[in-house]
Structure 1
C-alpha cells in the first residue's frame, strides 16, 4: 500500500533482514543515531538487535514486521504481534535522516489501522524505557497512556545492549484502538 507521503508498506521477508538490522541500529545506537531524536546511545551501547532477532519477528506466528519504503529504499519498520484482544507494537525504527518530519506519525497510524482491521485488536500495547521522557511524551501525544506497569530491563543480556546506567526499566503504554 502506498500513502500520500510516498511511503510503501509491506511485510518484511527473509531478504530484508540485513537492511532492517542496519536501519534499527542506525536509529538507536552509535553516533549515526544522534542525527535523529530517538537515539538511545547515551543510555545503551552495543547492539539493539541482530539478524536472528529480526528473523524471529518475521517468522513468528501472529507477528508481522511492517517494512516501509520510500523511493525504493527501506526507511522504517515496526513489529506488530497479535496477542488476543490487543496487538503489541515494537521494533519501531525510522531512518534518522527522516525523523522529525512526520513519517513516524504516518507509520503509527498505519500500524494501528492494520492491528484493528486485520486482527480486530481493541488496544495497542508497547514497552518503553522509562527514562526516555521525550519518546514517552511523543507517544502520549498520539493517544498512548502510561500504565505504571513496569518490567525490568534485561541486564546482563547483551543482545539488548550494554546499559550505561543502573535504573533502566520498561513501562507498558496502552492505546485503545476502537
Structure 2
C-alpha cells in the first residue's frame, strides 16, 4: 500500500485534456489498468473517454473536472456536474499504482465538498456498472446507497468502450450531502 501525501486539488483547464484522457484510460482499460483494482479490462475493451468528451465537460456550464496532483504529477481526477440540487459524479480515475493508497477517498471527499460548498448541492449521484460489485461496495462504505434504479449500457457507441459481455447496465447510487442549509 502506498503512503498518501496530501494532494493539491485544482479545476482542470483545456491544456489538461490529454493528461486526463491518459489517466482515465490507464485506470480502466488495457493491461496498465490491471496494476490497480478499478480495471474494467475484463468487461470492456476500447476507450473509456476521448479528448472531445473531456473538452465537452470542461466547457459545459455547472461542470468541473477536479484534478489531484502530488509534487506536480497528476494522479487522480473526477468530473462533477450540478443537476438541480444534486451533483453527478463521474470520470473518476486514480493512477493504478496509487490505487488502494487512500487517494481515491480524498478525491471523492473533495468532490463532495465542492458540490456541497460551491454549488449548495444536497446529494451526489453516480451510475456504476452493476457487474462491478467490488466498486459498488467501496462506494457503499463511503455512504452511497444502491437505489435499484437501472439504466442501459450504451451498446453500439464505441465512445464508451467495446463490451465483452451482453449483460452490462448501470445502477444509480446516491449519497446525501449534509451541511447544506436552505
* TM-score of the aligned structures, taking structure 2 as reference length: 0.95
Matches within 5 A, 1:18-29: 18-29=18-29
State yes or no: 1:112 paired with 2:108: no
CA drift of 1:56 comes to 0.7
- Matched residue SS, 2:118: helix
- Matched residue SS, 1:47: coil
**Which ranges in structure 2 are unaligned for 5 or more consecutive residues?**
none
CA–CA separation in structure 1 for the residues paired with 2:21 and 2:29 = 11
Alignment correspondent of 1:75: 75
Matches within 5 A, 1:21-40: 21-40=21-40
Deviation string, structure 1 residues 119-152 (Cα, Å, up to 9, x no partner): 1100000000000000000000000000011000
CA drift of 1:7 comes to 0.3
- Matched residue SS, 1:119: coil
**Which ranges in structure 1 are unaligned for 5 or more consecutive residues?**
none
Alignment correspondent of 2:63: 63
Matches within 5 A, 1:28-177: 28-177=28-177
Segment of structure 1 superposing worse, 133-142 or 67-76: 67-76
CA drift of 1:6 comes to 2.5
CA–CA separation in structure 1 for the residues paired with 2:46 and 2:76 = 21
The count of corresponding residues between Structure 1 and Structure 2 is 175
CA–CA separation in structure 1 for the residues paired with 2:29 and 2:57 = 20
C-alpha contact 1:35 1:97 (8 A) present in aligned 2: yes
CA drift of 1:5 comes to 3.0
- Matched residue SS, 1:34: helix
Deviation string, structure 1 residues 31-90 (Cα, Å, up to 9, x no partner): 000000000000000000000001111110000000111111111100010111100000
CA–CA separation in structure 2 for the residues paired with 1:9 and 1:134 = 26
C-alpha contact 1:27 1:93 (8 A) present in aligned 2: yes
* TM-score of the aligned structures, taking structure 1 as reference length: 0.97
- 4+ residue runs over 6 A deviation: none
